[in-house]
Amino acid sequence: MSPRVHRFFPIAPILTLTLALFTAAGVQAASLPEFTDLAEKAAPSVVNISSKVAMPEGGPAMRQGPQGPQGPRGRNPLEEFFRDFFGEGMPMPRPQASLGSGFIISQDGFIVTNNHVVQDAASIEVLLDDGKDTYPAKVIGTDPETDLALIKIEPKTRLVPLEFGNSEQAKVGEWVLAVGNPFGLDHSVTAGIISAKGRVIGAGPYDNFIQTDASINPGNSGGPLINMAGKVIGINTAIVATGQGIGFAVPSDIARGVIQQLREHGEVRRGLLGVAIQDMDANTAKALGLKEAQGALVASVSPGSPAAEAGIRQGDVITRVNGQPVEDSRTLTMRIGAMPPGERVKLTVWRGGKQKEYTVKLAKRSAEALGQMQPGQPGPQQPGGELLGMSMRKLTDQEASALGVEPGRGVLVQAVAPGSPAEENGVAPGDVILEINQQPVNNPAEAQRIINEDAKRKGVALLLLSRRGQNLFVTIPMGQ
C-alpha cells in the first residue's frame, strides 16, 4: 500500500497574495470616478420636452401606405373599421406626441435640444427638474443640418444653466455623464467614456460626432453629455439601433456657434464657396503631381459664385484654408460652413504643379438643392474608339443639351467592359468624358492621343466626367 502523501503549502505567501489582491481591488475602486456630485449639480439644468405634432387628416393610423397593413380593396383595415363604425364622419386622429430632453443655457429660459425633438411641433411643453413646473415653449430657431434647436420658456424664477465646455480638448477614454429622459423616465443619468471623436455617420454634411458608451436611448435626444468638470461637451443626438453602448453627440465646439446664431438670427448663416468637391486618392494625387493624397479636388465651379469670381478653377486642389491644412473634402465643407457670409477667406490651391493663393469673399449658403439633369436617349451609332475598356463616340448636339454638356465638348461612354480598368474604377455607360489629365477631350482620337502621350508617361489617367449634370473626377492607373 502506497504511503499517503501530504502536501503542505506555506501560509505566508498565500496571505501575501490575498492581501495584494485586496489592495489592488481597493486601489482600482478608489480610482473610479464619483458621479453623485456631478449628477446632483446637472439635474436642475436638464429638462423634459414634450412636443405634439398635429397630424393631417388620415394620419398614420388611418393612412394607406406600403408600410401599413392592407385589407380588401387595398384599404387600411383600421380605416375600414372606423368608417364602418362611425360612418364617413369618423374621428380625426389625435396629435402625435414625442418625448425628448434638453438643457438650460441661460437663467431667463433659453434651452438647447435636438431639431428632431421639436420639428413640425404644433405645441411644446417643458417640464423642469422639480417635476411640477411645466411651461409652454416657443422655437427660437432650428438647424436641421446639425440637428440642433433653440427653444425659450418664460420661467417664474431664475433657472440654473449649464455651460459649454471645450470638446476639442476632450480625449478618448475620458469619463462622461449623459443626462436625459430615456423612454420617458425623467432625469436618468448614465456614465461611460468617450469611445471616439470625429465620427461620420451619414447624418449630414457636418458630421463630426463624439461617440460614447454611456447608455443613450430614445428620449435622451437633446440632453447633455457632461465632462467631469460639469461642462457640456456634447448634445446627445443619435444611437445605433442594433448596437449597445454606441451613442453619438454633437460636439460642443460645433453646437456653441450654431446656438449663438440661432439666438441672434433665428437661423444659421453659413458661408458659401460655390464649388463641388471630392476626396483625393493616391492615383489622383499622382496624376496631379502631388506628393500626398490630401486636399479637396474641385470637380466643378458654379458660375458667378465667390470661387468663380476669385479665380478658382475646375481641377484645382484646395490644400489650405487660412493657412490651416485641408485633409479632405469634409474638412473643407466644415471649415467653410463654420464661417459667416461676407468673410474673406484665403485659399491655398494646387494647380498645374504649382501652389497658388486666392482670397474669396464668401456668399450666403442656400438650402436649395442643385437640379440633376437626366441622360437623354442613346443617339445614332457612330464610329468611335476604345480606351481602357470603354467604347466611346462623339455626342450629338441634342444629346449634349440633354446631358447638360456644352455642344461640341466631350465624348460619350457607350459601353464599359466588365473587369476592365474603366469599370473597376467607376466609369459607367452614359458618362461623358470632358477631360483627361486636365486636357479637353472632344472626340475619341483626342482621348487616345492624351492617353498615349501623357497618361502612359505619368502612369495614371485622370478623367473628368459629367454624370447626370454633375461633374466628378475618376482616376485610372495605367498599370491595370
Annotation says 116 is catalytic: yes
Q: Tell me the torsion sign for CA atoms 188, 191, 194, 195.
A: negative
Note if the pTM is more than 0.95.
no
The answer to whether 461 touches 433, Cβ cutoff 8 Å, is no
pLDDT one-digit tens code per residue, 198-211: 988 877 778 889 99
Structure letter (DSSP) for residue 134: E
Q: How far apart are CA 194 and CA 197, in angstroms?
A: 8
Is 221 a known ligand-binding residue?
yes
Q: How far apart are CA 128 and CA 101, in angstroms?
A: 11
* 3-class secondary structure, 455: helix
Query: What is the secondary structure of 44-80 as a DSSP string?
Result: GGEEEEEEEE-PPSS-TTT---TTS---GGG--HHHH
Helix (H) or strand (E) holding 239, with range, is: strand 232-239
Catalytic residue among 50, 116, 252, 431: 116
Query: What is the secondary structure of 369-401 as a DSSP string?
Result: PPP-PPP---------EEETTEEEEEPPHHHHH
Report CA 120 to chain centroid distance, whole Å: 21
pLDDT one-digit tens code per residue, 96-125: 566 899 999 999 999 999 999 998 889 999
Res 372: pLDDT: 28
Q: How far apart are CA 472 and CA 237, in angstroms?
A: 32
Helix (H) or strand (E) holding 195, with range, is: strand 188-199
Q: How far apart are CA 326 and CA 67, in angstroms?
A: 44
The answer to whether 426 touches 433, Cβ cutoff 8 Å, is no
* Candidate from 78-82, 283-287, 316-320, 441-445 with smallest mean pLDDT: 78-82
Annotation says 133 is catalytic: no
Residue 336: all three cell numbers together: 467653410
Amino acid 195 reads: S
Please give the domain boundaries of the chain with CATH numbers for all domains: 175-265 (2.40.10.10), 271-364 (2.30.42.10), 385-477 (2.30.42.10)
Task: Pick the more confident residue, 325 or 63.
Answer: 325
Residue 58: all three cell numbers together: 388620415
Q: Tell me the torsion sign for CA atoms 118, 124, 130, 131.
A: negative
Report CA 208 to chain centroid distance, whole Å: 7
pLDDT one-digit tens code per residue, 244-277: 788 999 999 999 999 999 999 999 999 989 888 8
Highest mean pLDDT among 149-158, 178-187, 200-209: 149-158
As beta bridge partners, residue 232 has 164, 226
| Average pLDDT of the segment spanning 381-402 | 68
Is 241 a known ligand-binding residue?
yes
Paired sense of beta strands 138-143 and 271-272, if any: unpaired
Q: Is the pLDDT of residue 64 over 60?
A: no
**Which among 209, 205, 215 is positioned nearest to 235, based on CA atoms?**
209
Residue 28: all three cell numbers together: 482600482
Catalytic residue among 147, 207, 253, 316: 147
- What is the number of other CB atoms lying within 10 angstroms of the CB of residue 338? 15
Residue 331: all three cell numbers together: 474638412
As beta bridge partners, residue 272 has 363
Is 29 a known ligand-binding residue?
no
pLDDT one-digit tens code per residue, 450-473: 888 888 888 889 999 998 788 999
Is 18 a known ligand-binding residue?
no
Res 95: pLDDT: 53
Is 238 a known ligand-binding residue?
yes
The answer to whether 415 touches 391, Cβ cutoff 8 Å, is yes
Catalytic residue among 45, 50, 51, 221: 221
**Which among 276, 259, 278, 277 is positioned nearest to 268, based on CA atoms?**
259
Is 116 a known ligand-binding residue?
yes
**Which among 387, 389, 463, 381 is positioned nearest to 419, based on CA atoms?**
389
Res 48: pLDDT: 94
Annotation says 147 is catalytic: yes
pLDDT one-digit tens code per residue, 5-32: 344 334 454 445 444 554 554 545 556 7
Is 219 a known ligand-binding residue?
yes
* Residue 359 CB-half CA count within 13 A: 3
pLDDT above 70 as % of the chain: 79
